[in-house]
Amino acid sequence: MGCIEIAFAQHLVSKGRHLFLRLWSGRIDFAAWTANFGRIVGQLAKFCPLAQCLHRVLPLLQNPLETTHMRSGRKKLSMNISRSIPRIVFGLLFAVASQAFAITDSFETYSIGNIDGQGDWIDFGGTLLTEVSTDQARTGTQSLKQTLNDVDPNPFDIPGYGSDVYQDLPSVHTSGVWDLSYWVYVPANFDGASILHLADNQVAGGDDLGFGLQLVVDGSATFNEFLASQDGSTGTGVSLIRDQWVEVTASIDLDANTVLATYNGSSIFSGTWDPGTDPASLGGLNLWVQGGEGNGSIYYDDFSLVPEPTNAMLAACGLLAMLAIRRRK
């Protein structure tokens, strides 16, 4: 997620807190609260799946839960329920917001050209720029483009070394399950390698990328395959698909210290995430191109690196749904 989207999510959380305080103090009724809060969660649903769950449940709460006063026969709002539901939803809002602070990008809001400084993408000193391009796009009209450099030797003595960019998570994570998904387009003339390194540390430090997983497009005539490797251990390579968009996924379980990666639905790696002695962690990603004869460019679109909702989050969402169903009966 870019810095603009993070600021927007933080703004939405602030609006949710304001609505919560107005409800608690009696300055807004419950029906109006759920309507306004529903709009906030609907906007957050653009960032994370958990918000989509809340967005479906909240319409069931539009009318207040009523009880009948035994003496007067008049109906009144059950204060315990009216206060417990906002607590549950507001807690889930913070869970949604924390999940939003991950990496999600379709490159549609960026200016064409150098991606450095747009969103949270940072150039890592490649010999060519990483660009926002309209050459290819899976969704919308723009994607990320990296290009091989045919100047050999280049200043880094890495044959074909061209574009190089990274993005870090806001902090290093040591628990939970993280899901990576992105789409890659490999033109017929791309003859080098493109490496996406999922790092167990933040890349910004530059000198300790540690373990993690490398997802590799090997466009050389010798191999022409997609494969994954981890600290010298290589998974199963599969034939490279060219001139069309292909999805790559990885599921990283930091609690179990395992990772599973797929290319076009086929498993390419299943094993240990961090074979070292330190606790398993995840800090960011680095993407670059090198090798071959230095010919061609490669394109990426629809990046997503987000945590799965925890059991506690899902349980709270389920409780909210049960309260809504109970009100309807």
Prediction pTM value: 0.70
pLDDT digit string, tens, across residues 275-320 = 877 789 999 999 999 998 888 999 999 999 988 875 544 444 554 4
| Tokens linked to 146 | 């990296």
Q: What does pLDDT average to over the chain?
A: 76
With contact defined as beta carbons under 8 Å apart, do 306 and 48 qualify? Answer: yes
Identify the band that residue 85 occupies on the pLDDT scale cut at 50, 70 and 90.
low
Helix (H) or strand (E) holding 3: helix 3-24
Residue in this structure with the two tokens 């169903």, named with its chain if needed: 325
d(CA 318, CA 55): 13
| Tokens linked to 306 | 């987000």
| Tokens linked to 31 | 């029906």
| Nearest by Cα to 317 from 44, 16, 86, 54 | 54
Residues 6+ apart with CB under 8 A from 204: 122, 166, 168, 284
Q: Which CATH class is domain 105-307?
A: mainly beta
| Nearest by Cα to 257 from 248, 243, 244, 270 | 270
pLDDT digit string, tens, across residues 27-50 = 555 555 555 555 655 555 555 555
| pLDDT at residue 5 in the model | 47
d(CA 210, CA 229): 13
